[in-house]
Structure 1
Amino acid sequence: MINAATLTSFSLSGLNGTTTKYRGTLFFLTLSCYSVILLINGAIIVLIILEEKLHEPMYIFLGNLCINSLYGTIAFYPKFLFDLLSNTHAISYTGCLLQVFVIYSYAATEFSILALMAYDRYVAICRPLEYHSVMTKHRAVLLVCFSRIVPLLCQTIVMIMTSKVELCGSHIEKLYCDNWSILKLSCNSITTNNMVGFIVILFYFGHDLFIVCSYVQLVKSALKSREDRRKFMQTCVPHLLCLLIVTVALLFDLMYARYGSSSVSQNVKNFMAIQFLMIPPILNPIIYGLKLTQVRNSFFKFLYKNNRFKD
């Protein structure tokens, strides 16, 4: 029997097997992927901060979506890059719990921010005359704080419960630590942990239901006029794409971790495990950057100003 007092580290086996033959290629691809995530999310954040025209609730929410991507991926990519260069793949007990906390609070915050963006679009299209009185900058900041604090509190409860579990092993068959992998090592029943975990999962996937209901109203309103249809296509379609990407990627990881077949190759398992840390952080800012005219125009204007200054 092992507990927090005696367990000092976990071993990670996700890189074992055929994956180790392609370490150099994987390191280059992973570094390139992480560099792209840092670059495009950082560019959107800096642009929203510097451009006064983008100091609107919709862009404040977008900026926080990008900040959240940087927050979540920093818990995975640096450690994974280090493991690719190392012959031993281990993580400390505290580091493992911290990694779980950051990755899954990132995922929960992603749903919270997307729900805020849906609410913002609902007010903008269905109640346009009330928009500026309802969605003020001050209220937008408060909503963003709320969307970050609640996931942190939820994940704190989950991690406190996980830290009290008595463990009978220290081997995690994954590229990184996740809560389910730790709970599977428990010596005793984890029914309570599972119940709390599913409540949290249902709560955040309930955000999807809220967003769907919002979009039912948005579609009804958008059909009334050409201007509403244009606004819907410009600002709501990229939001729906981001929501779909995040939901599918995270659902794949959660369901496969619990019910996936052991006969699946390790490479497929690895891809399923990291897709929500790779696909949404890259595609979200690209989708918004290409689709939102104001962001796109501000970006090119910013580049033009900098080039002219250098000349």
Structure 2
Amino acid sequence: MENISTSHILTVTALNDWDWTSRILFFSFALPGYLITIVMNATLILIIAFEKALHEPMYIFLCNLCVNDLCGITGFYPKALVYLLTETNRISLEECIVQGLVIVIYAVGEFSNLSVMAIDRYLAICRPLHYHSIMSPFTVLCLLSFNWVFPFIASLVAIVVAMKNPICKYDIDKLFCENLSLVNLGCKPDISYGIFNGWMYGSVIILIGFVLISYFKIILACRKSKVSREKFYSTCMPHLIIFLNYIGCSFFDSSQTELRAKSQYVSHFVHMFLSVIFLTLPPIVNPVIYGIKLSPIRAKILYIFHHLSISTL
């Protein structure tokens, strides 16, 4: 860990082949995307925070998901936008470590948040009579704590493992820093990273399996009750869409490294796009899906827009 205290300047090489026109063009899409994502997630957070009728576990977990999304895009977008407007593409080791911590917290936090939301929907549909007794304020607080403590511990362990060996390389082949990028800077491979990776993949598979089993039971319960089917389409369907969307985006990110090593026919831009899609797409899709499908939030958004349009007249 002694190399953390030593100042190193790293170079982000993902944009080396981009000319100035390509950078400006991409910046013109990235900046509005960043601002729109902030506005949409912040809107849902404020609606849930100030609307007392929405102070229920499902909406509290949704609010927490939006906060996690804001954490992820804040860790990625500002530095990426700077890279697009400069040609040096430099980042210090300390900044890279902080960005890696934030992005791993976001990535793991998305899985843990969606898993907790699956628990809530399972209890609401399959155990409706016991829902309020089980999902007490204390239980909600414990689940919210899990949504932050588990990702934070995972990110801290990831960075410690990644920085265990001395640094011999200074190039980051992505548009952002994360634990794998830091591992690749090391002088030699370390078995501890393989052990940590196995633990992380095992944890993620358990969470995914838990969500899928929950939804299997929810679907079985919905076959017996019309009320349960209505709950499923109104509250479970958006969660399931968002969960599958994040699984797909994460798959693209995890597979692009191997594709880059094996394929000479896929462009550098495609690889870069696949590597950032899990950071950019879910945070903007999540509030859209929930804003459209959840009627209390949709009604509140329409009410706000209606009053804004009247006030501008």
What TM-score, normalized by structure 1, do the two folds share? 0.94
Deviations 1:268-301 (A, max 9, x none): 1110111011110010110011011121112223
- Aligned-pair distance for 1:42? 0.6
Deviations 1:10-48 (A, max 9, x none): 100111113543121111100011011101001000000
Q: Is the 8 A contact 2:3 2:167 kept in 1?
A: yes
- Give the corresponding residue for 2:25: 25
Q: Which amino acid aligns with 1:249?
A: C
- Give the corresponding residue for 1:218: 218
- Give the corresponding residue for 1:143: 143
Deviations 1:115-135 (A, max 9, x none): 111000100000111111111
The CA distance in 1 between the partners of 2:57 and 2:312, in whole Å, is 32
Change (3 A) 1:216 1:19: farther
- Aligned-pair distance for 1:182? 2.1
- Aligned-pair distance for 1:190? 1.7
Q: Which amino acid aligns with 2:183?
A: L
- Give the corresponding residue for 1:51: 51
Which structure 2 segments of 5+ residues have no match?
none
The CA distance in 1 between the partners of 2:19 and 2:224, in whole Å, is 54
Q: Is the 8 A contact 1:10 1:90 kept in 2?
A: yes
- Give the corresponding residue for 2:174: 174
Match of 2:288 among 270, 273, 286: 286
The CA distance in 1 between the partners of 2:269 and 2:255, in whole Å, is 17
Which structure 1 segments of 5+ residues have no match?
none
Q: Secondary structure at the match of 1:91?
A: strand
Q: Secondary structure at the match of 1:24?
A: helix
Q: Secondary structure at the match of 1:17?
A: coil
Deviations 1:81-101 (A, max 9, x none): 111111100111011111111
Q: Is the 8 A contact 1:180 1:257 kept in 2?
A: no
Q: Secondary structure at the match of 1:74?
A: helix
Query: Where does 1:65-144 land on structure 2 (aligned, <5 Å)?
Result: 65-144=65-144
Change (3 A) 1:19 1:148: farther
The answer on 1:273 being equivalent to 2:305 is no
The CA distance in 2 between the partners of 1:222 and 1:65, in whole Å, is 26
Change (3 A) 1:233 1:45: same
CA RMSD of aligned residues (A): 1.9
Q: Secondary structure at the match of 2:75?
A: coil
The CA distance in 2 between the partners of 1:117 and 1:301, in whole Å, is 27
